[in-house]
Amino acid sequence: MNCIITGASKGLGKAIAEKFAAGGYDLYLCSRSEQALLTTKKELGTRFPGVAIHTKAFDLSKREEAFSFGQWLLDSGVAVDILVNNAGQFIPGSVHNEDEGALEQMMAVNLYSAYHLTRRLLPAMIGQRSGHIFNMCSVASFRAYPNGGAYSISKHALSGFSANLREEMKPYGIKVTSVYPGAAYTDSWAGSGIDPQRIMEAADVAEMIYAASRLSPQATVEEILLRPQLGDL
């Protein structure tokens, strides 16, 4: 079984990779940084020596690179069992004062990356009549908050894409799950002053995604919503 994860060199993507590697899945990991990918590959390879780990650096915010990553997978003969569209970026700001181009950047990274990669892989998935796509949305997908701006807009759009894809893929045996995590502690929170005990662990999100992937073909978890026990920050 194969698990493809974007934005996989750190944070939630890395935690998801760890969980699926522990489950015996071969990994196909992508992020923008080749060096970060190699570091992650070495670490996971040491912990899970029986798992094949393949990495390729692409900037999926660029349509042609998203297609190139998809083509690399297809040329490698990879059966797309699990696809986790996790590539993402956060630029703080509000609609009235965020930097020019923030919306375009957020849409490219948070929506178009998933859209273009998924489109490239869908014909093969439809042909095999199986596979499970997880789209990493956010609680920001349906709840506006201060300083969320273009990020929240892009995550609303990703949620819409995911819901639409779920309906389209029903006849082909392909599952689609929208994942809505609240704050989970990753390297991006380091130095922020946030108590790690106040928010979730990245492994919590990975656990739920893995559990959802283990159901019978007759069952689909359409949405996963996780929040810190004390609620959003």
Can you give the CATH number for the domain in which 197 is found?
3.40.50.720
Q: Establish if 233 belongs to a structural domain.
A: no
Confidence band for 30, pLDDT divided at 50, 70 and 90? very high
Half-sphere exposure of 121 (CA within 13 A, CB side): 31
Q: Establish if 204 belongs to a structural domain.
A: yes
98 vs 53: which has the higher pLDDT: 53
Q: What is the value of pTM for the model shown? A: 0.94
Residues noted as catalytic: 151
Parent domain of 71: 2-226
Cα–Cα dist 34/228, whole Å: 32
Q: Is the pLDDT of residue 164 over 80?
A: yes
- For range 143-166, the mean pLDDT: 91
The burial class, CB within 10 Å (0-12 / 13-18 / 19+), for 130 is middle
Q: Establish if 232 belongs to a structural domain.
A: no
Domain count, the chain: 1
